[in-house]
């Protein structure tokens, strides 16, 4: 079959080399062509004249538009994941002042009143700020704890208890944790407290702040790649009728 790569081979010669019945080989070539159309790929062999076939060079590197789309989507997902990991590391490398500026950018993207942001205190890599939600019209202050963590540092329930305990000091009815750390299950359970009438503490830890930054295109750059594919239907339309089905 190697000769079929260089020059056309009659199907009877193919049958002889394979030790098969010529009619069976002819049928197999027709079936393979039909299956290729179903699969949306090039046929392995091209019929160049009655009874003559040659190997389709396109098969060695062929890729359909759908396959290309899936491949690009997978590469896009892998690239996004790699960029998220790089961003996570970049945030971990910030000092407290840099993290405070980042936290303010995040707050603006979740619709807080930027003009009312007030820094109240700093301690243990944490900045306590107050402001209000834009949608709330500034009626109730909210306490924001911007907690700078090491890379993937866990955050326990004691931090949630600390935030909730600070709410009365600022006459706030809710708190928000903003951190590049990762809240433990105990911390999340303490924040929710669905069966107790305690002030809510909303969690914006690592994954959430990364989502906010990506969605707002903050700290990331995107680029578009233009891919060109041959429009086979266009060229098929230009062919004479007797060659369209080859």
CATH code, domain with 170: 3.40.1350.10
Distance CA 116, CA 209 (A): 21
Domain that holds residue 77: 73-215
Please write the tens of the pLDDT for every residue from 206-228.
999 999 999 888 999 877 666 66
Helix (H), strand (E) at residue 88: helix 65-92
| Domain contains 236 | no
What's the pTM? 0.66
Helix (H, G, I), strand (E, B) or coil at 180: coil
Residues 15 and 126 in one domain: no
| Domain contains 147 | yes
- pLDDT, averaged across the chain: 83
Give 47's strand partners: 53
| Domain contains 238 | no
Residues 108 and 57 in one domain: no
103 φ, ψ to 5°? -60, -40
- What proportion of the chain, given as a percentage, has pLDDT over 70? 81
Residues 135 and 80 in one domain: yes
Domain count, the chain: 2
| CA–centroid distance for 73 within its chain | 8
Burial per residue of 125-161, b for 16 or more beta-carbon CB atoms within 10 angstroms, e otherwise: bbbbbbbbbeeeeeeebbbbbbbbbeeeeebebebbe
| Domain contains 200 | yes
Residues 45 and 81 in one domain: no
């Amino acid at each position: 079959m190697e000769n079929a790569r260089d020059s056309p081979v009659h199907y009877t010669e193919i049958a002889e080399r394979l030790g098969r019945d010529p009619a069976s080989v002819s049928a197999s070539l027709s079936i393979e062509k039909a299956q290729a159309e179903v699969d949306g790929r090039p046929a392995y062999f091209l019929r160049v004249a009655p009874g003559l076939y040659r190997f389709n060079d396109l098969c060695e590197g062929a890729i359909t538009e759908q396959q290309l789309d899936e491949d690009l989507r997978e590469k896009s997902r892998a690239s996004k994941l790699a960029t998220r990991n790089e961003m996570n590391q970049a945030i971990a490398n910030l000092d407290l002042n840099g993290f405070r500026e980042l936290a303010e950018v995040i707050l603006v993207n979740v619709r807080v009143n930027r003009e009312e942001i007030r820094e109240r205190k700093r301690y243990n890599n944490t900045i306590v700020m107050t402001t209000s939600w834009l949608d709330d019209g500034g009626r109730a202050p909210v306490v924001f704890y911007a907690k700078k963590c090491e890379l993937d540092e866990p955050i326990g329930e004691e931090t949630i208890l600390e935030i909730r305990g600070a709410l009365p000091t600022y006459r706030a009815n809710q708190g928000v944790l903003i951190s590049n750390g990762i809240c433990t299950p105990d911390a999340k359970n303490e924040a929710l407290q669905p069966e107790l009438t305690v002030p809510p503490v909303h969690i914006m830890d690592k994954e959430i702040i990364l989502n906010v930054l990506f969605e707002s295109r903050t700290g990331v750059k995107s680029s578009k790649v233009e891919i060109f594919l041959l429009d086979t239907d266009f060229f098929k339309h230009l062919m004479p009728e007797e060659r369209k089905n080859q």
